[in-house]
Amino acid sequence: MTVGREDGPVRPRLGRAPSTTHAEISHVALTLFMERGFDQTTIDDIAREAGIGRRTLFRYFPSKNDLPWGDFDTLLGRMRAHLSGMPDDVPMMEQLRIAILEFNRVPEEEWPYHRRRMDLLLHVPTLLAHSTLRYASWRQVVAEHVARRLELPEHDLIPQTMAWTCLGVCLAAYEQWLDDGSAQLLDLLDEAFRLIDERIDTKVVQAHRGAQG
């Protein structure tokens, strides 16, 4: 999952100016996590290194687990908008593939951080667990779209399973990316989706018709 854009340069008109940014703190944290490990790094370490107070850090991030994630919700909103704005004549799985690839596009200057980030998120147990909450929102977006396209209720088995499958495909591709230092993330994701693509589309449409007929 792509994470970690930054707060725009929007100046508040009133009050004291923020002394730091989400990205700055996140980068400091990622560096420390990679150096000493997640569990061996305390919130105080991060706050000290970032030159801010402990209490301030908790105003930027609700928990230690959220530090590696950036502004996920904004990206998710963008994906929802992207999906719902797509023309209906594009096959559903292709819509999903395109939107998910776009979601996982990361600006080049974030690349080195992104790899560390995902390595942590997928391999540190605490973070792996916490990720579920983010994935749930992500799945929701996928399920919504599938449900709309197939004219099924959101909680129906088909959209739900489809969302899980998409998540699985993404995470499998991410694991490959982390293993194989040389490959491009978007290539792996694209390949993975194309491999599963048509078969799932067929499957879902069949299953849908089967359920109706």
Q: Are the CB atoms for 24 and 50 separated by under 8 Å?
A: yes
**Taking CB within 5 to 8 Å according to partner kind, which of DNA, a second copy, none is near residue 19?**
DNA
Q: How many Å is the maximal CA-CA distance in the chain?
A: 64
Alpha-carbon gap, residue 53 to 62, rounded angstroms? 14
Please give the radius of gyration of the chain, using alpha carbons only, rounded to the nearest integer. 19
CA 85 from centre of chain: 20
157 binds a second copy (CB under 8 A): yes
The item of DNA, a second copy, none sharing an interface with residue 206, based on CB under 5 to 8 Å by kind, is: a second copy
Report the alpha-carbon distance of residue 24 to residue 49 in Å, rounded.
Answer: 11
Integer Cα distance of 139 and 161 in angstroms: 10
**Contact pick of 36, 37, 53, 187 for DNA (by CB under 7 A):** 53
Among 87, 155, 182, 184, binds a second copy (CB under 8 A): 155
Question: From the list 43, 101, 171, 186, which residue makes contact with a second copy (rule: CB under 8 A)?
Answer: 171
Q: Which parts of this chain interact with DNA (CB under 7 A)?
A: 11-20, 41-44, 51-56, 58-60, 62-65
Q: Which parts of this chain interact with a second copy (CB under 8 A)?
A: 125, 128-133, 136, 155, 157, 160-161, 163-165, 167-169, 171-173, 175-176, 179, 192, 195-196, 199-200, 202-204, 206-207, 210-211
